[in-house]
């Protein structure tokens, strides 16, 4: 399968190496120490100015993949320091989830205008005329911007007829919809964890791979090796992630080869939530008891509301998210099972660990991390046996993976089971867009609406843990929605939703 980038290739190599150590190693510390040399085996660097920096970065990736925090740059800390805490059969996580690897950050310019070699030193000098601070002059035959005077207004760029003035913003900062990324004293990117909602878009945006989240694959594999009853709950966005020929039956075969006992479809949990939120909207919003209702399935969106619009937090639906509803339904029938949510989202790792509502989710891994586990076992998914699957989700639940799919599914349920009910829908994707919609809601402009928020532009199919481009993932999801035997969940699922919500 064609990779997305060299950065994702390097991440996958680390996950593969970590998984291989977890499955095979008899001396974990020594084998973890070896990984940076496996990633950079030669004396000639491939990606950085020297092999020592490459190995330093790989060392920090190893720590993050083990759930450990980065080492301080000014103290002698061993690569495997504290590893005994994470070599367990339980999820292990040292906050924060997202971290900037200092040695990997290239200190990108942050909000800076500069003149490129496209400047023709024209007679008009419109850039000089447009600058309100006199920051532009002619130096060596072309325009020059004095950064000490520049106020970043952008008028010079707008006025240049040759588009010779470039505006550079850190890719990670540009991708962050909550402005949680700034510059530290050394010029490197810095994440303000008080602002961050863990959507992971900064990680996707960084072309140097300098931002990474923490993984649970090592601990998961330890639980598998221990003999625990490990079951997979796969998000609907998984379709197509491992190749167009990798069917649900082949995927099940691959998961069983890793040591999972069974596979469940998270879209069933979405069906439960769909019916419950349709009922909630009809009985609470259309009657005027609530001004509007926010969907709850995206954890980054839910945290955004609670952090930045706390007075609206009560409007976030209290219905179970698809992940939690699925995990709880699994444990009704398999009380000893340990549920692993496999999806596209990094923020789900935090949702599964929250203390306010027990998630019943024991581990969370992304598609990218799962690919590392497949590689460690040498599995070629297209060649595996086609096993029978008993997936029962409807098109409505499976459509949750795409932006707008949640609100669309709820609207269809309302039209089917509560006819003649007027439904008002608003959806937002990407945190910047989500903030705009929340501002409108706070101002009373969206009263009576069902409001869907997705932290990632495009929805779950564009999550940071995906493998294939979002447009391909969206097309794959839309196809399985069309092929679903049932379009909508039965209204009787309201009873199941109530039962699951009361579980301890």
My answer on whether 214 and 277 are in the same domain is no
The answer on 314 and 380 residing in a single domain is: yes
DSSP string computed for 119-131: ----SS-HHHHH-
Is 55 a member of any domain? yes
Using one digit for the tens of pLDDT, what is the confidence trace for 449-503?
Answer: 999 999 999 999 999 999 999 999 999 999 999 999 999 999 999 999 999 998 8
Residues 359 and 283 in one domain: yes
Query: Are 124 and 21 in a shared domain?
Result: no
For residue 431, give the CATH number of its domain.
Answer: 3.40.950.10
Cis check for the bond before 96: say yes or no (omega within 30 of 0): yes
Tally of domains in the chain: 3
Portion of the chain with pLDDT greater than 90, in percent: 94
Instruction: Tell me the CATH number at 76.
Output: 3.30.70.20
Cα gap 156→165, rounded to integer Å = 7
> Which residue in this structure is represented by tokens 């998000």?
235
Confidence of residue 74 (pLDDT cuts 50, 70, 90): confident
pLDDT number for residue 333: 92
Residue 303 to residue 299: CA distance in whole angstroms: 6
Whether 101 and 118 map to the same domain: the answer is no
Q: Which domain holds residue 158?
A: 112-168
State the pLDDT at residue 153.
Answer: 96
What is the Cα–Cα distance from 446 to 424, expressed in whole angstroms? 9
451 and 437 Cβ atoms separated by less than 8 Å: yes
Strand 449-454 and strand 424-429: the pairing is: parallel
* 0.75 surpassed by pTM: yes
Q: Is residue 255 one of the residues assigned to a domain?
A: yes
Dihedral (Cα; 400, 403, 407, 408), 10-degree rounding: -80
Q: Please report whether residue 264 resides in a domain.
A: yes
277 falls within a domain: yes
Q: What burial letters (b/e) apply to 100-116, b meaning 16+ CB within 10 Å?
A: bbbbbbeebbbeebbbe
Per residue in 343-373, pLDDT tens? Answer: 999 999 999 998 776 779 999 999 999 999 9
Q: Are residues 254 and 237 in the same domain?
A: yes
Where among 168, 183, 205 does a domain terminate? Answer: 168
Q: pLDDT per residue over 10-63, tens digit each? A: 999 999 999 999 999 999 999 999 999 999 998 999 999 999 999 999 999 999
Q: Which pLDDT score is estimated for 30?
A: 97
223 located within any domain: no
Q: Do 44 and 97 belong to one domain? A: yes
**Calculated CA dihedral for residues 198, 204, 206, 211, nearest 10 degrees:** 40
Residue 498 in domain: no
pLDDT of residue 1: 55
Of 218, 252, 287, which one is at a domain's C-terminal end?
218
Q: Are residues 293 and 151 in the same domain?
A: no
Task: Write the pLDDT tens digit of every residue in 284-318.
Answer: 999 999 999 999 999 999 999 999 999 999 999 99
Please tell me whether residues 188 and 289 are part of one structural domain: no
User: Does residue 284 share a domain with residue 195?
Assistant: no
């Amino acid at each position: 399968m064609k990779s997305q980038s060299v950065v994702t290739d390097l991440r996958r190599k680390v996950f593969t190496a970590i998984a291989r150590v977890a499955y095979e190693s008899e001396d974990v510390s020594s084998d973890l120490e070896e990984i940076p040399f496996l990633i950079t085996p030669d004396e000639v660097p491939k990606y950085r100015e020297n092999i020592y920096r490459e190995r330093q970065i790989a060392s920090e990736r190893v720590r993050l993949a083990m759930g450990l925090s980065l080492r301080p740059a000014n103290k002698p800390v061993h690569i495997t320091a504290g590893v005994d805490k994470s070599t367990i059969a339980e999820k292990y996580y040292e906050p924060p989830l997202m971290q900037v690897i200092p040695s990997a950050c290239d200190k990108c310019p942050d909000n800076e205008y500069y003149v490129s070699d496209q400047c023709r030193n024209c007679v008009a000098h419109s850039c000089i005329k447009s600058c309100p601070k006199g920051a532009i002059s002619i130096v060596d035959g072309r325009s020059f911007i004095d950064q000490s005077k520049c106020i970043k207004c952008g008028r010079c760029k707008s006025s240049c007829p040759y588009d010779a003035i470039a505006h550079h913003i850190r890719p990670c900062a540009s991708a962050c919809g909550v402005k949680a990324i700034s510059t530290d004293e050394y010029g490197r990117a810095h994440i303000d964890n008080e602002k961050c909602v863990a959507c992971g878009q900064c990680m996707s945006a960084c072309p140097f791979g300098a931002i990474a989240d923490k993984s649970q694959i090592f601990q998961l594999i330890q639980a598998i090796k221990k003999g625990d009853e490990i079951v997979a709950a796969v998000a609907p966005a998984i379709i197509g992630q491992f190749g167009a020929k990798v069917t649900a039956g082949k995927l099940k075969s691959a998961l069983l080869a890793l040591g999972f006992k069974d596979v469940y479809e998270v879209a069933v949990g979405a069906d439960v939530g769909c019916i419950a939120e349709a009922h909630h909207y009809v009985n609470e919003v259309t009657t005027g008891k609530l001004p509007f209702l926010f969907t709850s399935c995206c954890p980054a969106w839910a945290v955004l509301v609670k952090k930045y619009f706390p007075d609206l937090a009560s409007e976030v639906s209290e219905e179970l998210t698809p992940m939690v509803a699925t995990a709880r339904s699994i444990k009704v029938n398999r009380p000893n099972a340990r549920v692993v949510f496999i999806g596209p989202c990094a923020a789900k790792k935090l949702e599964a660990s929250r203390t306010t509502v027990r998630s019943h989710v024991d581990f969370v891994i992304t598609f990218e991390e799962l690919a590392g586990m497949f590689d460690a076992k040498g599995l070629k998914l297209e060649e595996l046996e086609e096993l029978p699957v008993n997936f029962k989700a409807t098109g409505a639940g499976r459509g949750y993976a795409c932006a707008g799919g949640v609100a669309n599914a709820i609207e269809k349920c309302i039209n089917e089971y509560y006819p003649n009910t007027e439904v008002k829908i608003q959806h937002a994707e990407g945190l910047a867009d989500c903030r705009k919609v929340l501002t409108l809601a706070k101002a009373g402009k969206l009263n009576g609406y069902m409001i869907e928020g997705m932290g990632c532009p495009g929805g779950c199919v564009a999550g940071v843990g995906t493998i294939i481009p979002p447009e391909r993932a969206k097309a794959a999801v839309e196809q399985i929605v069309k092929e679903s035997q049932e379009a909508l969940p039965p209204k009787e699922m309201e009873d199941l939703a109530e039962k699951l919500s009361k579980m301890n």
